[in-house]
Chain A
Amino acid sequence: EAGVTQSPTHLIKTRGQQATLRCSPISGHTSVYWYQQALGLGLQFLLWYDEGEERNRGNFPPRFSGRQFPNYSSELNVNALELEDSALYLCASKRGTDTQYFGPGTRLTVL
């Protein structure tokens, strides 16, 4: 069974630009979670999508947004990039109340 996939692996942007990160969940999983992990810090919850709807969001500004598509894949958009947005962005999927499984992440660097 294929795991959670994310693209791109690495992304380099400059301040003020926009970034789009993508995630495909494990087949059969309807929930997708996005996390930010800055260097040396823990995982910070960003967004939770389930059945195509945004169910919850963490303490991040509105320039962090996303969506979930009918096939349950998801996209995270970060507008007006700032230097401190540089981090590893992790996507995780799960089905119901099962545990989460993570993708390999997208490493975003903002110059």
Chain B
Amino acid sequence: RKEVEQDPGPFNVPEGATVAFNCTYSNSASQSFFWYRQDCRKEPKLLMSVYSSGNEDGRFTAQLNRASQYISLLIRDSKLSDSATYLCVVNTGGSYIPTFGRGTSLIVHP
């Protein structure tokens, strides 16, 4: 089983739709979690950290489920500009090496 797994997609949704991605991790000692966004042929950029209690930033909501070992990202009212690949990142306690998922591709169409 891979350390961090994501559905590669693509998720093809119309503008205004709500879409959710999940990311599962295998190491129960994982301590910190992040979502990054990567546009085509560009570098990944931090979208948001994921906190145990869940957190929201505008149209984006991140959740952590430690019992089932997954994190999720919910995007409401999708915009064309949300089209990108969303990378899940997991840090395991004691390790300074983050593990990246391969990403989930989102395509928002008019």
Contact = CB atoms under 8 A, between A and B. Distances in A.
The SS class assigned to the A binding surface is strand
A41 B45 contact: no
B45 A31 contact: no
A interface bracket (residues with beta carbon within 8 Å of B)? 20 to 34
A88 B41 CA distance: 8
Contacts of B87: 42-43
A99 B100 contact: no
Nearest to A94: B96
Contacts of B101: 42
Interface stretch (A12-20, A63-71, A72-80, A100-108): A100-108
Contact of B44 (A31, A41, A97, A102): A102
B44 A90 contact: yes
Contacts of A56: 96-97
The CB with the most chain B CB atoms within 10 A, among A35, A48, A50, A100, is that of A100
A99 B102 contact: no
A99 B49 contact: yes
B46 A90 contact: no
B98 A42 contact: no
B42 interface: yes
Shortest beta-carbon contacts, A-B, top 5: A42-B102, A102-B43, A43-B100, A104-B43, A102-B44
Interface of A: 31, 33, 35, 41-43, 45, 48, 50, 55-56, 58, 88, 90, 97, 99-105, 107
